[in-house]
Amino acid sequence: MPDPRALGAAQLWIGTSWKMNKGLAESRRYARGLADYVEANPMTGVQPFIIPSFTALATTRHELGDESPVLVGVQNAHWEDHGAWTGEVSVAQAKDAGAQLVEIGHSERREHFGETVETTRLKVAAALEHGLVPLLCIGESAETKRAGESSRFILDQAAGALDGLTDEQLGRVLIAYEPIWAIGENGRPATVEELRQPFADLGREYGGRTLGLLYGGSVNPDNAEDLLGIEHVTGLFIGRAAWQLPGYLRILEMAAAHPKASAVTG
């Protein structure tokens, strides 16, 4: 499996979190189908990643195979390596079970599980220390957007988690901008117009300095191409539309054919 530390920025990151879905059999089927697909369709210029539940992590990794170009991640991890933290899984444990990437600060975790800017900072640091790619999720609420505060809010979330990192460390971080109003069943896809300013802001601060700047929130095969065309967007983070393998493969295929797949420099 590829060493995340050796990954370059010159690719489009196309990934999915399965959230709290899929048991072992379904995870295995998905991973096998994906393994077959990437074997038949070498992923030049595209870096696929999938983020199953903890319970399916090792199975998914195993089914993809050790040499797979597909990275596997976890949806959360604790910053301490071990200890009296009942119910938590550490970055070290996730790595041991095959994770190469750690999703951090998804809005569902911030809203329902008390994730704070400070805990995202600790988790980013732990992921980097163990050589895993932190995928930091940021995004504002509909209310913050209405108040015209989106840019300040997302830049504060990013800075709170990333300030103090060296250039080398920042170069191993992915950022996903996922406006809360665009995510999930009650979300509506952000328009290309709405995304220009946030990505201009993120691009100014982090473009070319990180592994990539992803967009997430109601991504689907119909809007993926336009979203990838936005300046500074170098990847997509997908929920529902990629929970079934054919949906994910359609977006991977589209990304591989996208001009940015060969031209991205971060």
Nearer Cβ to ligand PGA (153/165): 153
- The one catalytic residue in 103, 178, 232, 258 is 178
Nearest-approach distance from CB 84 to ligand PGA, in angstroms: 31
140 among known catalytic residues: no
CB atoms inside a 10 Å sphere around CB 158:
23
How many residues are recorded in the chain? 266
**CA-to-CA separations, 151 to 157, 204, 235, in angstroms, rounded:** 10, 12, 20
Give least dist CB 18 to ligand PGA, A. Answer: 10
* Torsion angles phi and psi, residue 101, rounded to 5: -140, 145
Sites of contact with ligand PGA (CB under 6 A): 17, 178, 183-184, 187, 216-219, 237-241
Instruction: Mark whether 112 is an active-site residue.
Output: no
Contact between 50 and 72 (Cβ < 8 Å): yes
Active-site residue, from 63, 78, 106, 258: 106
Q: Closest approach of Cβ 102 to ligand PGA, in Å?
A: 14
Q: Which residue is nearest to ligand PGA (CB)?
A: 239
50 vs 165 by CB, closer to ligand PGA: 50
Q: Which residue's entry shows tokens 């949806």?
A: 75
Taking the C-alpha atoms of residue 96 and residue 17, their distance in angstroms, rounded to an integer, is 20
The catalytic residues are: 106, 178
